[in-house]
Chain A
């Protein structure tokens, strides 16, 4: 009798199972946790727009493997606690295949333990070196790290013969992580860090900090923050007549920050991407086509050019779509796919990943830019 029941029940269960997975496969659901409001909204807004744009483009082309793609986006208001809540909702209620987020390093780092525990791939468009070092099984970074950017900047300063440098960073995860990286790399390369100052993301005046830096006699000041406050720093820098190179982080590569800083931005050197200087990129560069396509579609739909942070999400998302085409809905296969990118070309750079390197960003993709009369130009 028991046997008979088992014989009856088993096919039933199997049927249910098939039905269940068929339901799950009607759409490919991908999640995103972005800072659409709050101090980092100038990342999050363009990132959300980018995801909406790409989602509609892909569905217009017939989706992935004939299945519709759905992107579920939650706003974390630049608050790490809210980003964790949003991630759990994506995991438990929306049951997404993978999550893109968060917009800033502090929030992304807060998400990592939960992605690891849930076994859902997390694609991070933020810069802290801690995100991919040490390697986390389920976490992939689609952004140049501060490790790479600081190395690039220090190399540039070495070539200029600058020895005395100062650091001015904000108190967020991004700023602190950049400072730690500078402390790790600078002494070995013969630099002397003569001053290290911080400020809050909502501060209104940074002249006290810059005065200290001026008094310390720094020849170059590395400014590390990811909020519009960097425009105030640029203004204060000119105000107190600080005679030193002003180096800003990749977060400064935004036309909006440029217009906020106005004439005070001229002379700022930064690590950036090809997007702001795409019209000066030679036509032979295959990346140019990807960037122009993205920029023009974005401009057409939203009436303004995307900033490069939107392009970070563009790269993470297009890589994920490529992986989904072969991996389907199996999260482990998606993870393996993300772990074996070979020279994947996005708008901001190319990416090559492996089991030991979950940040595939090729450091050669990083451009040194300078602001001249309110425009980004390549450093010659």
Chain B
């Protein structure tokens, strides 16, 4: 393999993993915009997506339907999560909200373990396992699915926020909660919507990655942290930033593993997180991040 072939392989692998990080980061962004809190249960939504799709598929539900049911189920979990943890509270600090989401994530992880057991599980690839050659590198058909689905989800989220009434209302809440209330927007409902939407996006990420990377009850934590790093990297609260941060993180990790030392892959992600917070706390695309922080 020539150097350029290797480079291409690292970039392709990085983009595949990175687009998963991007979807997770997008989930962080949506909840942050609505509540100014970091939802540390975001990674658990990803895990729940993968695990419930495996469970449905195991119950002989056809694969596409199993994936759809999993997304719906996790969306419902997202709504319930908000209803039972954040909604009952009045006037709490952002710090309290964050701690509550950490507690919630432990609860979700434990429930998944008790429901589905501790074994790792997998789904069949959506369109086979025959690798596709791209010049000197290779790609699994599932990677195309991951990239395609991520693109569709990102575009759909963008359209939703730009054109749908609910999406615009959610943006209004993000921009100025008080003014939005005065305009007759139901802020509580919008917060619930943001949780439902972020859970749905997380579930999609969890489902499409399961055929290549397996899933297990404890898989959510590290994916959540990576998505969080991506969100910070891109600028928390910024949609395009989440996507950019995710892809960048994925590619840098793959390059780091390939060219520097594969043992330091996770260290690279978290080193970037620390550097970004020190040098440019608002992230690559975030202008408002510094004000909010």
Chain B contributes a number of interface residues (CB within 8 A of A) equal to 41
- Is A318 an interface position by the 8 A CB rule? no
Residues on A with C-beta less than 8 A from B218 are 38-39
Task: Give A228 to B120 CA distance when docked, in angstroms.
Answer: 7
Query: In the docked arrangement, what's the CA distance between A307 and B129, Å?
Result: 27
User: What sequence of 0s and 1s flags, for each residue 229-255 of chain A, a beta carbon within 8 Å of any chain B beta carbon?
Assistant: 101100100111100000000000000
The reply to whether B214 and A231 form a contact with Cβ atoms under 8 Å apart is yes
A231 to B257, CA, bound (A): 19
Docked-complex contact B262 and A209, CB < 8 angstroms: yes
Which of the 9-residue segments A89-97, A99-107, A199-207 touches chain B?
A: A199-207
Q: Which of A45, A202, A208 contacts B118 (CB 8 A)?
A: A45
Assuming the A-B contacts A238-B129, A240-B131, A264-B129, are A203 and B265 also in contact, with contact meaning beta carbons closer than 8 angstroms in the complex? yes
CB of B121 within 8 A of chain A?
yes
Q: Which of B131, B209, B262, B265 has the largest number of chain A CB atoms within 10 A?
A: B262
Closest to A202 in B: B222
Q: Are B263 and A256 in contact (CB under 8 A)?
A: no
Residue pair B212, A205 in contact (C-beta under 8 Å): yes
Q: How far is the CA of A39 from the CA of B120 in the complex (A)?
A: 9
**B262→A208 contact, CB < 8 A:** yes
- Chain B, range 239-268, C-beta contacts under 8 Å to A: 254-255, 257-258, 261-263, 265-266
A262 and B263 contacting across the interface, CB-CB below 8 Å: no
Query: Which of A204, A228, A260, A263: most chain B CB closer than 10 A?
Result: A204
Check B9 against A207 for contact (C-beta < 8 Å): yes
**Given A214-B1, A235-B129, A240-B138, residue A198 in contact with residue B262 (CB < 8 A):** yes
**Cβ-neighbour of B258 out of A212, A231, A239 (below 8 A):** A212
One digit per residue, 1 when the CB lies within 8 angstroms of any chain B CB and 0 when it does not, for chain A 220-232 equals 0000000011011
For window 191-246 of B, CB contacts with A under 8 Å fall at 209, 212-214, 216, 218-219, 222-223
B113 in the interface, Cβ–Cβ < 8 Å?
Answer: yes
A199 to B257, CA, bound (A): 8
Picked from B17, B219, B263, B266, the residue with its CB within 8 Å of the CB of A205 is: B17
> Contact between A204 and B209 (Cβ–Cβ < 8 Å)?
yes
Cα A239 to Cα B245 in complex, Å, equals 26
Complex Cα gap A229–B124 (Å)? 16
List B contacts of A200 (CB < 8 A).
Answer: 263, 265-266
* Residues from chain A with Cβ under 8 Å of B17 in the complex: 204-205
Q: Who on chain A is nearest to B132 by CB?
A: A239
Q: When the two chains form their complex, are residues A205 and B9 in contact, meaning their CB atoms are under 8 A apart?
A: no
B257 x A260 contact (CB < 8 A)? no
CA distance A158 to B134 in the complex (A): 35
Interface check B32, CB cutoff 8 A:
no
Q: Is A37 an interface residue, CB under 8 A from the partner?
A: yes
Which residues on the B side are within 8 Å of A5 (C-beta)? Answer: none
Q: Mark A242-286, 1 if CB is under 8 A from B, else 0.
A: 000000000000001000101110000000000000000000000
Residues of A within 8 A of B258 (CB): 208-209, 211-212
| Alpha-carbon separation in the docked complex, A228 to B215 (Å) | 10
| A197 on the B face (CB < 8 A) | yes
* Cβ of A319 to closest chain B Cβ, rounded Å: 28
Chain A residues within 8 Å of B, Cβ to Cβ? 36-39, 41-42, 45, 171, 197-200, 202-205, 207-209, 211-212, 214-215, 228-229, 231-232, 235, 238-241, 256, 260, 262-264
Q: Could you name 5 residue pairs across A and B whose Cβ atoms are closer than 8 Å?
A: A42-B120, A199-B265, A205-B16, A208-B10, A256-B120
What is the interface of chain B, defined by CB distance below 8 A to chain A?
1, 5-6, 9-10, 13-14, 16-17, 20, 113, 118-122, 124, 129, 131, 137-140, 209, 212-214, 216, 218-219, 222-223, 254-255, 257-258, 261-263, 265-266
Question: Nearest 5 A-B pairs (CB), nearest first?
Answer: A204-B213, A228-B120, A215-B1, A208-B258, A41-B118
